[in-house]
Amino acid sequence: MATATYLPSSFSFSSPPPPPSSRARLRRQTTRAGASAATDRPREVLSPKRRLPLREVPGDYGPPVLGAVRDRFEYFYGPGGRDGFFASRVRAHGSTVVRLNMPPGPFVARDPRVVALLDAASFPVLFDTSLVDKTDLFTGTFMPSTDLTGGYRVLSYLDPAEPSHGPLKALLFYLLSHRRQHVIPKFREVYGDLFGVVENELARVGKADFGHHNDAAAFSFLCQALLGRDPAESALQGDGPKLITKWVLFQLSPLLSLGLPKHLEDSLLHSFRLPPALVRKDYGRLADFFRDAARSVVDEGERLGIAREEAVHNILFATCFNSFGGMKILFPSLVKWLGRAGARAHGRLATEVRDAVRAHAGEVTMKALAEMPLVESAVYEALRIEPPVAMQYGRAKRDMVVESHDYGFEVREGEMLFGYQPMATKDPRVFARAEEYVPDRFLGEDGAQLLRHVVWSNGPETASPTLQDKQCAGKDFVVLIARLLVAELFLRYDSFDVQVGASALGSSVTITSLKKATF
């Protein structure tokens, strides 16, 4: 289903809609944030007896255009960075639900105004597609040109009510499952090679850039495990990660900071879109690879009623943007937090991993992984403290009341709701020591109860994605391969050290020492 390029011809910065005329009417219509029919939402949201006092959403958008530019500069370049931008609004208004402008604003996004949800109680309303519309909101207040995705609005930009959403999500479930028996052996093979390269580089120069080597390994693993093709043996050779990174930059540049002088960077990246024509040949090389390598998956798409070219571009997007992009952010983050956890945590993890593998004839299997609860908890904790997708958006389908821990807030139909996930998953009213990485946080019955507040996948960890929602189709796949990374790491090493820096996407992680396994 081809669509026209999303390039708004005008920009609207009109005043926010007036408050509802009748609080009593809205109180009768109060919708618990994220409640719907699910029973695994946070207890603060689900309780049917709570009736919190109503409060107007505090904050303002400032003057047209200038207010949005002001907020954009504070977001990218203010003290405390992105986290500081949101925390300062919470302090200023004494509220975790506030009005503000989200980047990029002029002249990329038509309307930057949002109601920001900055706690664990209000955030889950964004999962309930009976309350919020998700059309074209994957990247927020703007949508990249469909010239970057073969002329198609791919699944990430579709609302579940759209007729093509169900078949396309079913196709992704098929992509992730049809070669499931290859996932563990291919992961061990590819990431075993990665650690060999890291060891050699460490011996040669005293340090190794994990992120660089992870990019190559992630793309190779995904193509071999899911498609049965090694990209190094195709026309792509070793260029896949480089092409993907450039292509992603052209989609997300209005939301990124590359460390350039702020006025230059704001003009180049945040005020205008990078021309898709500059990456057309690179994207064409990726599309050619997937037309050939994903032929059997495309055949399944055709059986589901999806045109072959539409299937190709959706498979490409899911593999390169969603899966590769997720591994590019999550795996360095996981290594960073594990590296900082220290030798005692490393010892516990190594003991658990090796005992479980020995009990299964020296093989890493699903049964062996099931006997590694600390590994699983350590992965969930990394997803909690630094979720790979930090932001969620939804447009209110009707007047409603969204509740924080303490107040109900009136939201009008058509208003944009925005959730900053790191503040929801580090909410101190849900998580003790919320700013600390605690590897065993999710062990035991109490830990299991907290899993419903781990929402990196656009839904609670206790739920499973369906054709009717926007929860990540690869939720369980991501957790599995993250557990495999931890297991592979501690099968090989007793402990390791890292240096951490910043990057445009997540963290830059350099491994500075590896202590090989001694038991």
8 A C-beta contact, residue 500 and residue 336: yes
320 labelled binding-site residue: no
Angle at 256 between CA 431 and CA 381, to 5 degrees: 20
CA distance 417 to 392: 8
Phi and psi based region of residue 414 (left: phi greater than 0; alpha: psi -120 to 50; beta: remaining): left
CA distance 254 to 265: 10
Q: Which residue has the tokens 């350039």?
A: 260
Q: Which residue has the tokens 């003991």?
A: 351
Whether the bond into 53 is cis, omega within 30 of 0 = no
Closest by CA position to 499, among listed 340, 349, 344, 328:
340
Cβ contacts of 308 within 8 Å, gap of 6 or more: 298, 301, 302
Closest by CA position to 274, among listed 139, 102, 103, 147:
147
8 A C-beta contact, residue 58 and residue 95: yes
Phi, psi of 335 (to 5 degrees): -65, -40
Residue positions counted in the chain: 519
Provide the 10 A C-beta neighbour count for residue 15: 8
Provide the annotated binding site: 472
Provide the annotated binding site for heme: 472
